[in-house]
Amino acid sequence: MQRFGFREPKKLLSDTQPALVLHNLRARSPIYGFFDPSVVHAEGYGVVRSAGGRAATREAEVQPPTTAEKSLITGHDASGARLAGYDGKPVPKEGCQGYAFRAVGGSLPGVGSTHDMPGGGPDVPLTDPRIASVNKQWSDCMEVKGFDYPTPVDAISDPKWKPDPKKIEDYRPSREQIAVASADMGCKLSLNLVGIDVAVASAYHKQYIDSHAAELAEYRRDFGSRLKKAAAIIASENAI
């Protein structure tokens, strides 16, 4: 970025984003939906909170990158077309981000992502009888409370909760959403749904680890090598 005249370029993500993603991964799951008893009665499903308790959608600790900065980072202009040059200088393929990834031997996985792991990572089928059984009990519990959802994921994914992207800063969960989320949480707690789902998922994860031992060892070595290269590059930059 400095090559193109940006001495202190803005970031696509804030430094707190990994912590927010990790918190979100704990609170939201493609298996059990949403689980955060500390927020549902006031915020429903609508706000992902940071580890420090602040609402992520309200955070504004960093200014977003300009259009030019974003194009240089990604290597594509606002229309998505490849950016070949900027200010008379050639732009690397996939931008400065791609240049950085190639320097360390490849891209780094996103926080909590398993898709680039050997075999695409562990798979936990929602059709597993144990998950299907507790989901049916949860659905019956929700029906008693006046809500009709087959699974916890259906409850959190209700289109009614989706905020207007143009009004995200002013987003507030509806009373209905808070009522559903509160009922959802009560049913989960009474059935130990999350405990059952986590136990089932852990068993599948163990099977995956055992069956991909060699591939995972290579994946870990490769990942460690990329981290070392990244650390060396940062150290050399700081020494200048």
Tokens of residue 62, six digits: 């960093």
What rounded mean pLDDT belongs to the chain? 84
Tokens of 173: 């969960």
CA dist 165 and 153 (Å) reads: 22
Stretch 98-113: mean pLDDT: 79
Place of tokens 């959190």: 156
Average pLDDT (197-212) is 97
Helix orientation angle between 193-211 and 213-239, rounded to the nearest 10 degrees: 90
CA distance 205 to 195: 15
Q: In angstroms, rounded to a whole number, what is the distance separating the alpha carbons of residues 44 and 180?
A: 8
DSSP string, 98-145: HHHHHHHTSPPPPTT--TTSGGGS----TTSHHHHHHHHHHHHHHHHT
pLDDT, one tens digit per residue, over 136-191 is 999 999 999 999 999 999 999 999 998 877 777 778 899 999 999 999 999 999 99
Asked if 142 contacts 190 with a C-beta cutoff of 8 angstroms, the reply is: no
* Nearest Cα to Cα of residue 215 among 148, 149, 117, 128: 117
Closest CA to 4 of 54, 72, 62: 72
Q: Give me the residues paired with residue 82 across strands.
A: 76
Phi, psi of 55 (to 5 degrees): -75, 125
The model's pTM is: 0.72
> Is 55 within 8 Å of 47 (Cβ atoms)?
yes
52-88 pLDDT tens trace:
344 444 444 456 778 888 899 889 988 889 999 998 8
DSSP track, 145-213: TT---SSHHHHHT-GGGPPPGGGGGG----HHHHHHHHHHHHHHHHHTHHHHHHHHHHHHHHHHHHHTH
Number of Cβ within 10 Å of residue 37's Cβ equals 11
Q: For residue 12, name the pLDDT band (cuts at 50, 70, 90).
A: low
What is the average pLDDT across 16-45?
A: 82
